[in-house]
Chain A
Amino acid sequence: MDRADTSARIASVLAPFNKKGITVTDGTSFAGDLEWDSLTVMDFVAAIEDEFDIIISMNQQAEIETFGQLVDAVTKLKG
């Protein structure tokens, strides 16, 4: 799957969670820049999982801190 397509789809899923209206780039971090708490992270991960019909386990989530890392991980999971 094309990385740019994946990035755009993730961005549209993310939009309603971006309450502070931050400009999101590959370097944007979920905890630091978006200031999400664990409950928001959980809801967002569930939304991404449903959008792409994948599982992002807690173990994998631990390695994903930024938007770019998430795009890479989803691209890889979709093969």
Chain B
Amino acid sequence: MTEPATTQAPVASGDLFDKFDGIIETRRALLATGVEDPFNLVMEKVLSPTVAMCNGRETILLGTYNYMGMTFDPDVIAAGKKALDEFGSGTTGSRVLNGTYAGHRAVEDALRDFYGMEHAMVFSTGYQANLGIISTMAGKGDYVVLDIDSHASIWDGCKMGDAEVVPFKHNDIDAMEKRLRRIPEGAGKLVVLEGVYSMLGDIAPLKEMIAIAKSYGAMVLVDEAHSMGFIGPNGRGVAEDQGVLDQVDFVIGTFSKSVGTVGGFCVSNHPKFEILRLVCRPYVFTASLPPSVVHTAATSIRKLMHAGDKRAHLWENSRTLHAGLTERGFKLGTQTPQSAIISVIMPDLERGAAMWEALLHEGLYVNLARPPATPAGMTLLRCSLCAEHSADQVQTIIGMFERAGKATGII
């Protein structure tokens, strides 16, 4: 460029926050309608896995992913208290330096037993588990083939790893196969799937997809965050339920749903798996989980192995809510109840927020989900059931939906 700088177009203000102006305006317009802020709720007191005081009201919780209701289990609480007394409040260190305590080993042992697999690696969050495993395994020149509705942690793991990222249409077996077929010969391939997709609560046809992935020589990673403890004969997830867990190379999961605390993990039978502890940056360069957390998780996971009755009750709750809301004229994300997530489709963000607020005033908390987290630009009221919801509570919930739906003109 030879032109003097003075003739260039005027530069923008230089405020790096200008890029958020769109979302700032959307939020301002929503709150200007007078609706209670759906993204700023405070739980002042939590009374049980299913009831809390929210913004001053006693509220039934139907949007917590606390599927198995383990957060107030007496054995889990006792294990956490004991660990606080015996090991202190935190490890102040990385897993590979001073941050591996007896409890971290104990929870990895519990995971190995739960899944019947050789290796288990615990991360500080579920987000970091996907971020770390995907970015470390699939590097430059490799291909990651993934469902377009994958969780943000999967997308971020892809981006961080520098692999070629190839998405396919949600749950579309044919679209996935076409992409695998077109990958250059000799390139490394990782297929990333989820057992339950958390926005609509639908499950993946893992049996068919994994068979195809394997026929193209791809490794397979399945995120079972929303199915652990609940789906499958032993609660190992959708892959177990469809009889293909032995074909999965890596299962990713979390402690912040059915297990009832926080943390993430990967389990695998890969013979070289343990090397990941030294090369996976989101595992190495962060502090490990506090002792109380890993002891509560280990206790919870071992109890979830023998939770057949709770699983049966949770399925009953899911079927009852799905049928009840369908009968009352709500449009749901799935034709049949496929998981513990029942997603109610709203016409737009404004009416979705109005319905969310009406439910909150009834004494019911659900998740308001909106783009970009949702597929196809949908606004959703996402309900996640708990094994500790009583049959009566589920009927109460259906009544609340009916009243709020009529008050806001959704039904």
Contacts and interface: CB of A to CB of B under 8 A. Distances in A.
A42 B167 contact: yes
Nearest to B169: A46
Interface string B171-208: 00001001100110000000000000000000000000
A53 B166 contact: no
Interface of B: 143, 148, 158, 164-169, 175, 178-179, 182-183, 376-377
A78 to B, nearest CB: 12
9 contacts: A37-B377, A39-B376, A42-B167, A42-B169, A49-B178, A49-B179, A49-B182, A53-B182, A59-B164
Nearest to B180: A55
A58 interface: yes
Contacts of B182: 49, 53-55
Contacts of B179: 49, 55
A57 B164 contact: yes
Give the one of A37, A39, A53, A59 with max B CB within 10 A: A59
A50 interface: yes
Contacts of A42: 148, 167, 169
A75 B166 CA distance: 19
Given A39-B377, A42-B148, A59 B165 contact: yes
Contacts of A59: 164-165
B157 to A, nearest CB: 13
B165 A55 contact: no
Contacts of A54: 182
Interface of A: 37, 39, 42, 46, 49-50, 53-55, 57-60
A57 B166 CA distance: 5
Contact of A58 (B165, B175, B183): B165
A68 B281 CA distance: 39
* Chain A interface main SS type: helix
A39 B166 CA distance: 15
Contact of B175 (A37, A39, A46, A57): A46
B72 to A, nearest CB: 41
A50 B167 CA distance: 14
Nearest to B146: A58
Nearest to A37: B377
A54 B178 CA distance: 9
B167 A58 contact: yes
A24 B269 CA distance: 52
Contacts of B175: 46
B183 to A, nearest CB: 7
Contacts of B164: 55, 57-60
| 7 nearest A-B pairs in the assembled complex, by CB-CB distance | A58-B165, A57-B164, A55-B182, A57-B166, A57-B165, A55-B166, A59-B164
Give the one of A37, A54, A58 with max B CB within 10 A: A58
Contacts of A58: 158, 164-167
B218 to A, nearest CB: 14
A49 B166 CA distance: 11
A37 B372 CA distance: 12
Nearest to B140: A59
Given A49-B182, A55-B166, A59-B165, 6 more contacts: A39-B376, A42-B148, A46-B169, A57-B143, A57-B166, A58-B165
A42 B372 CA distance: 14
A49 B178 CA distance: 9
Contacts of A39: 376-377
A42 B150 CA distance: 14
A55 B183 contact: yes
Nearest to B165: A58
Contacts of B168: 46
Contacts of A50: 178
B372 to A, nearest CB: 8
A60 B165 CA distance: 9
A53 B179 CA distance: 9
Nearest to B377: A39
